[in-house]
Amino acid sequence: MTPSLSLSYSYPRCIHILLLSPPFDPLSKAMATTALMLYPATSSSYAYRKLFHSSHIHCCEDTVGRPRKPQLASLNGLAGFPEKNALLTPTSALPPRPRRIILVRHGQSEGNVDESAYTRVPDPKIGLTKKGMQEAEDCGIRIREMIEKDGAPDWKVYFYVSPYKRTLETLQGLGKAFEPSRIAGVREEPRLREQDFGNFQDREKMRVEKAIRVLYGRFFYRFPNGESAADVYDRITGFRETLRADIDIGRFQPPGQRNPNMNLVIVSHGLTLRVFLMRWYKWTVEQFEGLNNFSNGGMIVMQTGYGGRYSLLVHHTPEELREFGLTDEMLTDQEWQKFARPGELNYDILTTGQSFFTHFDTGNNKT
């Protein structure tokens, strides 16, 4: 059996050679000799003299003098990342899921009040108005009051935020409701940014483009030099996978802690948050286009139900969700989400397909 040979180069010029399957055959001996010829600084070393007399050779230490651990090196450095400890010491129990995912739209911005602001200031640098900052602070208070009703003494919040100025200022307003001990962390996430509307310098042209979008369809229409909602969907898909991975590895709490009273807050923009909900709950394009925008400083709460899955109906009433734009079919699914467990599928929706097929005679179906 041909032994495998692993070479890693570290400072100073030194070869770390690990022979995983002894004994040395001629091919491996030739490979090792070639490697040492490429690094002559080691050719007269003790490691070279031991090369053909030992099946496991460690000819160097790291820069702080500690011997390397080949069993960890073979994992390509994963041992250096605590959140990946599951790969080293797998366990059957996942960390508890955050109790809520709270979606917050930024407060009133200068662009919400005066659309011509976009002709003078780049979209990412549009800030909040005085009213918008107050809306952010009020929203923070509402979030805290909602969480405190749980009666859990160890609750915390963790924030994801768009890098735009108005969302960062909204985050600052929200944060006034929480002591530092309650904030588990903050991550700036560029994929949560606003839809790119292209060139705002020509105000009249932008009005025409927005009117065309209404006729064309809000999801697929792409602004010149900008994005469509479908483009936003693609990047939100990537963020959703990151979020799910963060939940699965328990990134929001220190190693060893398993606090079930964590609350995630995503501070973003109206369309981006609607697309996030569309992607999470697998809503159709038609269902997305029936949704209404969040109010400035408004929030939608995804909260764990009886089975541990996130449902909008745990916190919100059906009337509130209908006002947001959910149909009866979407509300029925949210009711299922309220009792289902993670990993389960709603087979009623998967198998009927009533929203796609129009030829079913529901009164005379044959099985």
Distance CA 252, CA 246 (A): 7
**Radius of gyration (Cα) for the chain, nearest Å?**
28
Catalytic site positions: 106, 194
pLDDT at site 60: 36
Cα three-residue angle 276-279-283, rounded to 5 degrees: 115
Domain ranges of the chain: 100-195+237-324
Biggest CA–CA distance in the chain, Å, is 89
Residue 111 is labelled as binding a ligand? yes
pLDDT at site 211: 86
pLDDT at site 158: 97
* Ramachandran region, residue 231 (left: φ > 0; alpha: ψ -120 to 50; beta: rest): alpha
DSSP letter (8 states) at residue 65: S
For residue 75, the Cα-to-chain-centroid distance in whole angstroms is: 24
pLDDT at site 13: 41
10-residue mean pLDDT profile of the chain (367 residues): values are 41 41 51 50 42 39 38 45 48 84 98 91 96 98 98 97 98 98 97 89 78 87 92 98 94 86 98 98 95 96 97 98 97 96 84 71 58
Residue 359 is labelled as binding a ligand? no
DSSP for 297-342 reads T-EEEEEE-TTS-EETTTTS-HHHHHHHT--HHHHHHHHHHHHPPT
Q: Given the structure tokens 């500690």, which residue do they identify? A: 66
Residue 259 is labelled as binding a ligand? no
* Ramachandran region, residue 250 (left: φ > 0; alpha: ψ -120 to 50; beta: rest): left
Q: Is the pTM of this model over 0.75?
A: no
Q: Which residues, including other chains, have CB under 8 Å from residue 302's CB and lie 6 or more apart?
A: 100, 101, 102, 103, 280, 310, 311, 312
Q: Given the structure tokens 């139900």, which residue do they identify? A: 305
Residue 125 is labelled as binding a ligand? no
Residue 112 is labelled as binding a ligand? yes
Helical H segments across the chain, by residue range: 26-38, 46-50, 70-73, 85-88, 110-113, 130-148, 165-175, 203-216, 229-249, 270-281, 285-289, 318-324, 328-339, 347-352
Instruction: With H, G, I as helix, E, B as strand and everything else as coil, classify residue 188.
Output: strand
- CATH architecture, domain defined by 100-195+237-324: 3-Layer(aba) Sandwich (3.40)
Residue 322 is labelled as binding a ligand? no
pLDDT at site 320: 98
Q: Which residues, including other chains, have CB under 8 Å from residue 360's CB and lie 6 or more apart?
A: 354
DSSP letter (8 states) at residue 56: S
Residue 204 is labelled as binding a ligand? no
Residue 226 is labelled as binding a ligand? no
Cα three-residue angle 284-329-295, rounded to 5 degrees: 70
299 neighbors 159 (Cβ within 8 angstroms): no
pLDDT at site 247: 93
Q: At what angle do helices 270-281 and 328-339 cross, to 10 degrees?
A: 70
- The Cβ-side half-sphere exposure at 61, using a 13 Å CA radius, reads 5
Distance CA 87, CA 310 (A): 27
